Homo-oligomer: A and B are copies of this chain.
């Protein structure tokens, strides 16, 4: 029997329902379940040997649902990309007007670090899958390159001239890359934002010739 709530929900688009309830109507947290299933299969049998059908099956969902969330099996690993760009852009734009560009970028990177709190095991497994596959490595580099471009863009909007804006952004992404790899390789008792902070200081030291 249908209730009033069912009818109301029936009139709302799935996107709206997802926004309100944080999940799809019939598939609570489908996205997260697909990501977890994909990572498990990629880790076990390799990226190339895994099909979308198998990922959907392990997640208890259909292939159609998979393709509602991801364009292809590669994109399951890069779902948070838009969010990275958005966080950095917002935090760098909102940094104190007096902040030096490198410190505004450092704030943005630290905010990304916060996003990974409690996700180190997931990040470590994802990194291992990517390291085993040249095509995924290229995709990861494109992601970081876009993040650098978005960062340079927001720095220019803060009034930083070229080439300082591009150099600061690219150096910031270099820091992020090195810090992320260290965080994943190090023990589990440190937060990414801490490692990023240390790496920014280290960049300042090496660029100042203090090594």
Contact = CB atoms under 8 A, between A and B. Distances in A.
Interface of A: 100-103, 134, 137-139, 141-142, 145, 160, 162-164, 166-168, 170-171, 173-175, 177-179, 181-182, 199, 202-211
Contact of A170 (B178, B182, B204): B178
Given A141-B138, A208-B208, A175 B182 contact: no
Count identical subunits in the complex.
2
Contacts of A173: 174
Contact of A171 (B100, B160, B206, B209): B206
B138 A206 contact: no
Interface SS of A by simple majority: helix
Which of A138, A167, A181, A208 is packed against the most chain B CB atoms within 10 Å? A167
Contacts of A145: 137, 141
A77 to B, nearest CB: 15
A138 B145 CA distance: 10
Given A173-B174, A209-B103, A211-B101, A203 B167 contact: yes
Given A160-B211, A163-B199, 20 more contacts: A100-B209, A100-B211, A101-B206, A101-B211, A102-B209, A141-B141, A141-B145, A162-B182, A163-B179, A164-B202, A164-B211, A166-B178, A166-B181, A167-B175, A167-B199, A170-B175, A171-B206, A204-B208, A207-B207, A208-B208
A103 B207 CA distance: 9
A18 B49 CA distance: 43
Nearest to A210: B100
Nearest to A166: B178
A105 to B, nearest CB: 9
A175 to B, nearest CB: 7
A182 B178 CA distance: 25
A110 to B, nearest CB: 16
Contact of A206 (B142, B164, B181, B209): B164
